[in-house]
Amino acid sequence: MKKILIPVLILSAFAFGCGKKELPAPKIPGVKTVTLAPASITASITLSGTVESKARAWLISPADGAVMAINKEEGDAVAKGDVLALIMPLEQQNLLGQAKAEYDEAKKTADSGGSETSAVEAARERYEAAKKLYRPFPVVTPVDGVVILRKIDIGENVSARQNLLAVADLTRLVVKTAVSEQYSGRVVKGQGVKVKIEGAGGNFAGQVSLVSPGINTESRTSDLEIKLPQSPRLRPGMAAEVELTVAASHNAVVLPQDA
């Protein structure tokens, strides 16, 4: 029995030894470390608005009548009190025309031998008096600035209170816009904003100059005015986009973008 048992044990041990394999070492993934540091983060909204002048005026016709003269053209600088146009009221124009017609008729009659010189002289005096009495009304600008729009021509008939010319101070331009009531309490006077005006070819640094204390109940917005720097590229009526910061944190801990 011993002769048979020993070879079996040896073969079993050999077979066990040959079946054992080496296990591969586990792979440990690489670890990247980053340093967290405080940073400033902001939340902003974009509002649409229009460039307007703080000192702008429409010059209107003082009466029904005709345009007798235009003294300034678009682009001309004007000072407060300048006369930009003359309007002859329709009623006075008719009376003046009647006096002239009577004078012309008197001269015609005299030339044909049917009227005395005294009658012609009397008609002439009435006509001269009418010219002094019936004078055109001046259209005066109430502000300094530049003529930005002219809507009349000489000889044109106009109506009372019709818009004739527009004058604006181009040194006092603002963007008028409105902010949702959700953010209205986060906007303060003096706050800096970014203003994009494509018509002026670039971006401008603006400043909140007015925050309406009330809310429009229909639009649920509050009116804002953004003061603009002086620039020859800016014009009233241009479209503008205002980037307005409504929240900010200056000590927030953030991860780098490539972390």
Cα 87 from Cα 66, distance rounded (Å): 6
Query: Where in the chain are the domains?
Result: 40-54+172-254, 56-168
Q: What is the CA radius of gyration of the chain?
A: 43
CATH architecture group of domain 40-54+172-254 = Beta Barrel (2.40)
The confidence score (pLDDT) of residue 11 equals 46
The confidence score (pLDDT) of residue 37 equals 63
258 CB-near residues (< 8 Å, 6+ apart):
none
**Sheet with 145-150: strands ordered across:** 56-60, 163-168, 145-150, 77-78
Q: What are phi and psi of 231, to 5 degrees?
A: -155, 135
The confidence score (pLDDT) of residue 196 equals 97
The confidence score (pLDDT) of residue 19 equals 52
3-state SS, residue 47: strand
Listed residue (130, 112, 110, 132) closest to 121, CA to CA: 110
The confidence score (pLDDT) of residue 2 equals 46
Angstrom distances, CA of residue 13 to CA of 16, 33, 100, 154: 5, 50, 144, 124
The CATH number that domain 56-168 falls under is 2.40.50.100
Fold equal for 40-54+172-254 and 56-168: no
Cα 243 from Cα 221, distance rounded (Å): 16
Cα 108 from Cα 102, distance rounded (Å): 10
Q: Give the pLDDT means over successive 10-residue stretches in the chain (259 positions).
A: 46 50 63 65 88 96 96 96 96 87 85 73 86 90 96 96 97 96 92 95 95 94 96 95 82 61
The confidence score (pLDDT) of residue 256 equals 63
The confidence score (pLDDT) of residue 252 equals 57
pLDDT, one tens digit per residue, over 163-187 is 999 999 999 999 999 999 999 989 9
- Residue 187: count other Cβ atoms within 10 Å of its Cβ: 17
The confidence score (pLDDT) of residue 8 equals 46
